[in-house]
Amino acid sequence: MQTKGIKRQIGWLYVLPAILILLTFLIIPFLMSFSYSFTNYNILTPWAKQYVGFTNYINTFKDPVFLQSLKNIAQFVIFIMPIQVGAALGLALIVNKKRPGNTFFKISFFAPQVVSLTVVSILWMYILNPDQGLLNGILGIFHIKPQPFLTSPKQAMFAIIGVSAWQGAGYQMLIFLAGLQNIPDSLYEAAELDGANSWQRFLHITLPMLKPTSMMILTTTFISAFNLVIQPMIMTQGGPQNATMTPIYYIYRTGFTDRQLGYASAMSVIYGIIIIIFTIIQRKITNAGGDENA
Amino acid sequence: MHKFMTRRRFHVIWTTVLITILALFFLFPLVWMIVSSMKPESQIYANISNFKAFLPSGHISDWGKAYVSIFHRFPVMRYILNSVFYATSVTIGSIVVNALAGYGFAKFNFTGRKLLFGLLIALLVIPGTTLLIQQFQIAKTIGILNTPLAVILPGISSPFYIYMFRNAFAAIPDSITEAAELDGASNLRIFWNILLPMTLPTVATVGTLSFIGSWNDYVWPLMVLTNSDQFPLQVAITNINSTNPVYMNQVMAILTISTVPLVLVYIFFQKYLTQGMGSAGNGDK
Amino acid sequence: MEKWKLGVATVAAIAALGLAGCSNNQGSSNSKNVTMWVHVSNTDPEGKALQKNVNDFNKENKHGYKAKVQFIPRSGSGGGYEDKVNAALNSGSLPDVLTLDGPNTAAYAHSKIIQPIDKYITNKKDILPTIIKQGTYKGKLYAAGYSESSIGIYYNKKMFKEAGIKDSEIATLKHPWTWTQFKDICKRLKNHFHEPAINMNLNDHSEMALYSLAPFVWSAGGSITNPAGTKAVGYFNSKQTTSAFQLIQDMVKDGYTTISPKDKGFETGKYAMMMTGTWEVQTLQNQYKNLQWGVMPYPVSPATHKQVSPTGSWQYAMSSTAKNKKAAGALINFLMSKKCMYRSDMANTVLPARKSVSKMMMPKVNEQMRFFIKQNQTTGHARPVLVNYPQVTRTFADTVQNVTLYKKNPNVQKVMNEQAKVIQKYLQK
């Protein structure tokens, strides 16, 4: 770092607005979730708010819906990572080659990204409608019998995974593409002279050179996957049979619809800690943002 | 040699065909969305299992009907303006607030800077979305519920953007600021006239990401706004989708309308999205 | 030196945002103003009629009261009307007058969200007893229902004839049909048209589930909880309640109905029957004039032959934070008047909540609406009064969904045992 050692207190003034807002909307809420979580705070009866110790925490572990939601989010994370990131890498490799219509392909793959999650969710609800949906209409042409999609506990989460990957892959494709274009051509030329085939070149040049980009994409996908809420909220309301209920949505529903702020806070503490642990592990592994302590 | 050429050409042809099919897979929902907004509802259902599903109505006079009806039934223009207002405010606020903070951290060695910056990095791991309910309580306490401020304020400061700005400012040699200081320029003038222009790519990246993030935000505005006149598009379209009677062609029309502004943003700012993300993620510079 | 400029800039930026924020939010506390929230959209007939009524109130009342309505439609995608009421409750920003569904009366009155309105409502004797009962908590009237509601089995006359169903087999209030006969007719329709026979709206996981399907439970002699509302185990999983859910599962399993019905399937002649509310009368009359249709009552359990139909409706209530009680009370009373009720009930084709309005409507409405009015008065059954009703009704809807997924949950009794425990959890609190 080049900053001189002279103390210049005016720096405080510059960072203050940002710090104040972060304090208000991130730090205090974070601390509040702890203090609420030990009470039976109910919106209907705020005057009856009482300290209840660890009752809420004990209840979360006995709450089948919360446990199910953790299972669901694990399923989502495990499947979305390889599918979305794999697809993004594949697409990037495709559009990185010069061929006729390349711009069209690039735009096509990226197009879903332009649509907001809300629009994506509503649109796919109509496409995935079992009886009148477009997808079953298309499958019918190939004589595949109609699928229940969002109305089946088995398929609903996979449908959401598919829709999310469809939407998200294009953006990551662009980042991969930027990474690919940073690889010097000379490396490939040298490898070609050494007689390496295209697969070997991919394995020994492309992949290692893409490592920083891949790590960054994997990290952001991983962390944002934990926040899944809009798709199930709009497409399935967490159903059928809670098969697509996610922790964030369940916390929202418990605190907002069911009015149980205390219990919802206990769940946000637990889920928050789970995410924090995973984030830290991720950081340790990928070591993203290396110079942060400088 | 001749044989090689045909094989090569054959290879090009079949990969192009495969890739075209792949591209169609990515495009078909969007095409369907647009063409479905351009025909009567009954035709959407009637065409569902043949190729006509991807063609608009045969009568050109039908094309705009769903749009006319949706504008007639709902204050669509108002929703669009709301969204534009929220997203623009968040964008400007986010650039100003985060850039100032990044400047502060990069160029001033004030007391507690290291501690504060460490804290900021630690904040990166706190998942904001798990705190929606507590954030709602805060918005209630400071009395901004049902005002645009509730939608805008939480979005204008982000540890990640501050981190990006700090890196951008730190990369500028101190000699430049020192020279300016010798000329008698104030800190703010140095920031505004010299440093900020030098970090234009970061400004564009943060601005674009903030705009898109705010434009796409759904759950938070849904929570803090009650009056439908204040709804941003994302909340309004889910409302329209559940306000009886629901006509599919009209729903598709509002979905299409709400996508147009983002298309423009992506066309003009797409390159900053990848540039910014790439450099920030690698942690270099 | 020029540090102040930075300060000014920062303050200006924040103030600009703040100003923008405030400009849209003038919460005038003029006591002549009455704020009101309703759960309907201002684009549907009910909302339009209400807006007209409120406009009339603003014109006609002699005290210069001014009412302003905010339309907050219920929505399936989370964040609907009830969530907004909860949020306002939390932040102490409830409107003066709000609408609420019948079953919520107890919870709201119990937690002092709404206040008694006895003294503001005139001509109470004219109001139907079921409506008074629904709005009463501990002997005081807290909410005034402006309509009644009911559900029936709509059927397509032409399709019935085609499938060889005789006129003598058509059920009426005098000659009801049993579940066995119901299933038999479904079977014949299904075999003839190769489509599900009836749309039971099983894809609707809202309050509709309990509202429209609980009559099967009640007809079988079952219940959701004990009368005191303290026990679900032993009631929700009783043999009688289970038999009703078994019927629902069988209907799906045998293909007589479907969990993902085609949109407008009945109206366009794909399904021969549809189970839905009075509001459908209007749609059919206005938009599907060629369809020949009639309405039948709920089929009854073969074990009891008890006729049951759902009742209840949305109501007006005054929040306990109402700034000007007289103005709010005057608004509710005005909206409950004969003229207003007639207008809104005719617009939405719902059943009237006043006897006098009933008389006004009878000659104007068709045979089917007369059937509904009669059914409502003879076989209506109220929904349970529970403080945690929202959770209970959701569990009911979950249970319906569970049993309709018959491959996954073939054993209905097992589902009922589990779900009874879930409901029990909500009752103990």
B148 Cα to chain C: minimum distance (Å) = 5
| Tokens standing for residue A88 | 């993004």
What residues contact A224, with CB distance under 8 A and at least 6 apart?
none
List, for residues C217-234, the tens digit of each pLDDT value.
Answer: 999 999 999 988 889 999
Q: Is A67 helix (H, G, I), strand (E, B) or coil?
A: helix
Q: Which of B28, B132, B174 sits opposite A252 (nearest CB)?
A: B132
Helix (H) or strand (E) holding A285: helix A261-286
HSE, side-chain direction, 13 A CA sphere, residue C262:
20
* Chain B positions in Cβ-Cβ contact with residue A124 (cut-off 8 Å): 29
Best to test chain C binding among B214, B243, B250, B254 (most C CBs inside 10 Å): B243
Q: How many residues does chain B have?
A: 285
Burial A40-55 (b: 16+ CB within 10 A, else e): bbbbbeeeeeeebeeb
Domain extents in chain B = 2-60, 74-282
Q: What is the DSSP string of C321-376?
A: T-S-HHHHHHHHHHHTSHHHHHHHHHHTT-B-SBHHHHHHHTTTS-HHHHHHHHHH
Chain C, nearest residue to B72 by Cα = C43
pLDDT greater at residue C194 or residue A192: C194
pLDDT at residue C198, rounded to an integer? 96
Sign for the pseudo-dihedral over CA of A233, A234, A240, A244 = negative
Q: What is the DSSP string of C81-142?
A: HHHHHHHHHHHT---SEEEEEGGGHHHHHHTTSEE--GGG---GGGB-HHHHHHHEETTEE-
* Chain C positions in Cβ-Cβ contact with residue B243 (cut-off 8 Å): 41, 43-44, 73, 75
* C261 close to C196: Cβ distance less than 8 angstroms: yes
Going by their DSSP bridges, the two strands C293-296 and C151-156 should be labelled as antiparallel
Which amino acid appears at position C384 of this protein?
P
Three-state SS annotation for C372-386: HHHHHHHHEECCCCC
A12 touches chain C (CB under 8 A): no
Q: Which of C87, C398, C408 sits opposite A256 (nearest CB)?
A: C87
CA pair distance B150, B223, nearest whole angstrom = 10
Tell me the sheet residues that pair with C66.
C33
List, for residues A200-239, the tens digit of each pLDDT value.
Answer: 888 888 888 888 888 888 888 888 899 999 999 999 988 7
- Say yes or no to pLDDT of B276 above 80: no
Beta-carbon separation of B219 and A212 below 8 A:
no
Q: Is C80 helix (H, G, I), strand (E, B) or coil?
A: coil
Beta-carbon separation of A131 and C113 below 8 A:
no
| Tokens standing for residue A35 | 């203090």
* C329 close to C318: Cβ distance less than 8 angstroms: yes
Q: Nearest Cα to A8, choosing from B95, B172, B115, C3? A: C3
Domain extents in chain A = 56-286
| Tokens standing for residue B15 | 């990969």
* Chain A positions in Cβ-Cβ contact with residue C203 (cut-off 8 Å): 151
**Residue B53: φ, ψ to 5°:** -55, -25
CA pair distance C417, C237, nearest whole angstrom = 5
- Say yes or no to pLDDT of B84 above 70: yes
Beta-carbon separation of B109 and A113 below 8 A:
no
Q: Nearest Cα to C328, choosing from C109, C81, C144, C127? A: C144
Kindly report the number of other CB atoms within 10 A of residue C360's CB atom.
18
List, for residues A51-97, the tens digit of each pLDDT value.
Answer: 989 999 999 998 889 999 999 999 999 999 999 999 999 999 988 88
ipTM field? 0.88
CA pair distance C63, C61, nearest whole angstrom = 6
* Chain B positions in Cβ-Cβ contact with residue C73 (cut-off 8 Å): 239, 242-243
Share of chain B above pLDDT 70, in %: 94
Domain extents in chain C = 33-149+312-381, 151-310+388-428
pLDDT greater at residue A144 or residue B281: A144
CA pair distance C202, B28, nearest whole angstrom = 30
- Say yes or no to pLDDT of A171 above 80: yes
Tell me which DSSP letter residue B283 carries.
Answer: T
| Architecture of domain C33-149+312-381 in this structure | 3-Layer(aba) Sandwich (3.40)
Q: Nearest Cα to A209, choosing from A96, A113, A78? A: A96
Share of chain C above pLDDT 70, in %: 91
- Say yes or no to pLDDT of C12 above 50: no
Q: What is the mean pLDDT of residues C19-27?
A: 41
A271 Cα to chain B: minimum distance (Å) = 7
C151-310+388-428 has which CATH code? Answer: 3.40.190.10
Q: CA A203, A206, A209: angle at the middle one, nearest 5?
A: 115
A neighbour chains, 3+ CB pairs within 8 Å: B, C
Q: CA C122 from chain center: how many Å?
A: 25
Q: Nearest Cα to A125, choosing from B237, C55, C377? A: B237
C7 touches chain B (CB under 8 A): no
Provide the pLDDT confidence category of residue A287 given band limits of 50, 70 and 90: low
pTM: 0.84
CATH superfamily of B74-282: MetI-like (1.10.3720.10)
pLDDT at residue B139, rounded to an integer? 92
List, for residues C202-211, the tens digit of each pLDDT value.
Answer: 988 778 899 9
CA pair distance A183, B282, nearest whole angstrom = 15
**Residue C52: φ, ψ to 5°:** -60, -45
Highest-pLDDT range among C92-106, C117-131, C233-247 = C233-247
pLDDT at residue C23, rounded to an integer? 39
Chain C, nearest residue to B144 by Cα = C21
Q: Mean pLDDT over all residues of chain C?
A: 86
B264 Cα to chain C: minimum distance (Å) = 25
CA pair distance C349, B80, nearest whole angstrom = 34
CATH superfamily of A56-286: MetI-like (1.10.3720.10)
